[in-house]
Amino acid sequence: MNVIQIMRTSKAARYGLSLALLLGLLSSTPDLLAESQAYYRIGVGDLIQIEVYDEEDLTKETRVLTDGFISFPLLGSVKASGLTVQELEETIRVGLARDYLVNPQVTVFVKEFSNVFVYGEVEEPGAFPIFGKMTVFEAITLAGGFTEIANRSSVKVIREVDGREQTLEADVERLAKRGDTSQDIELQANDRVIVSRSFF
C-alpha cells in the first residue's frame, strides 16, 4: 500500500483517532502544549488569553478581529494575526516596558483555534481545527485523502495576507513519491486548501 492509498482510509477513523490522540497527549503534557503553541501563527477569530504577571488589570481574554488586531489595555489596538504566540508576547512586552512597566512578564495562550478549510476532490471536505503546526499533507489526510480523480500534483493553498489573497501551490504527488518535503506547505489559520479535478 502506497502513501496515496493510505490517505484514502476513512476520515471518521483517521480524524477521530488523530484528534483524540492529540487532545489526550496535549492535556496530559502541558509543557508540550505550550511548546506547540509557541510557534502557532495566530489567525482571525482565534480566542486568546493574555496574562501579565502580577498585573491583574492587564490579564484578559480577547478574540482576534477580522482586521487582524486585538484591543489591549494601555496599548490600544495591537496587530496579532500572522504573529506567532512568542512574537505577540514580545510585542506586548516591549509595548508595556516602553512606557508603563518595568520588565513585564507576558504570557499568551490560545484558547480557541481557528480552522483550515479543505475543498474539492477529497473524500470529506470541510473545516478542521489547526493545532500548533499543520501541513497541506496533514490537512488532506484529515479530510479523508484524495478522491480517485484528484489532481495531486497541483494543490492550491489560498491565504489572505494584509487583506489580499495569496495563492501557493503544492505538488503532493512529488511529496508522496519522492519525499520532497519542500512541497508540504505549512498552513496558517483560515487557509483554504483546494484540490482540483485531474483531467487525465
Indicate if 117 and 153 belong to the same structural domain. yes
Is 142 part of any domain? yes
Residue 12 has a pLDDT of: 41
Mean pLDDT on 145-154: 94
Contact 46, 110 (CB under 8 A): yes
Whether pLDDT at 10 is above 60: no
Mean pLDDT on 95-115: 93
Indicate if 71 and 138 belong to the same structural domain. no
Domain that holds residue 53: 41-112
When divided into structural domains, the chain yields a total of 2
Is 36 part of any domain? no
Mean pLDDT on 137-144: 94
Is 12 part of any domain? no
Whether pLDDT at 114 is above 90: no
More confident residue, 182 or 7: 182
Indicate if 175 and 131 belong to the same structural domain. yes
* Residue 5 burial (10 A CB sphere; 0-12, 13-18, 19+): exposed
Indicate if 145 and 76 belong to the same structural domain. no
Specify the pTM: 0.62
The domain boundary, picked from 112, 141, 163, lies at 112
Is 3 part of any domain? no
Average pLDDT, the chain: 83
Is 9 part of any domain? no
Indicate if 98 and 142 belong to the same structural domain. no
Mean pLDDT on 51-58: 94
Provide φ and ψ at 76, rounded to 5°.
Answer: 75, -135
The three-class DSSP label of residue 38 is helix
Residue 36 has a pLDDT of: 57
Contact 164, 116 (CB under 8 A): no
Task: Say if strands 164-170 and 192-197 run parallel, antiparallel, or are unpaired.
Answer: unpaired
* CATH number of residue 52's parent domain: 3.30.1950.10
Indicate if 103 and 130 belong to the same structural domain. no
Mean pLDDT on 140-151: 95
Mean pLDDT on 174-180: 86
Mean pLDDT on 140-148: 94
The domain boundary, picked from 93, 112, 131, lies at 112
Which three cell numbers, joined as nine digits, stand for 120? 474539492
Whether pLDDT at 195 is above 70: yes
Residue 34 has a pLDDT of: 55
More confident residue, 125 or 163: 125
Single-letter amino acid code for the residue at 55: E
Is 35 part of any domain? no
* CATH number of residue 172's parent domain: 3.10.560.10
The domain boundary, picked from 112, 144, 171, lies at 112
Query: pLDDT tier at 9 (50, 70, 90 boundaries)?
Result: very low
pLDDT tens sequence across 28-41: 444 544 555 667 88
Give the residue from 68, 49, 67, 74 showing the smallest Cα distance to 59. 49
Is 132 part of any domain? yes
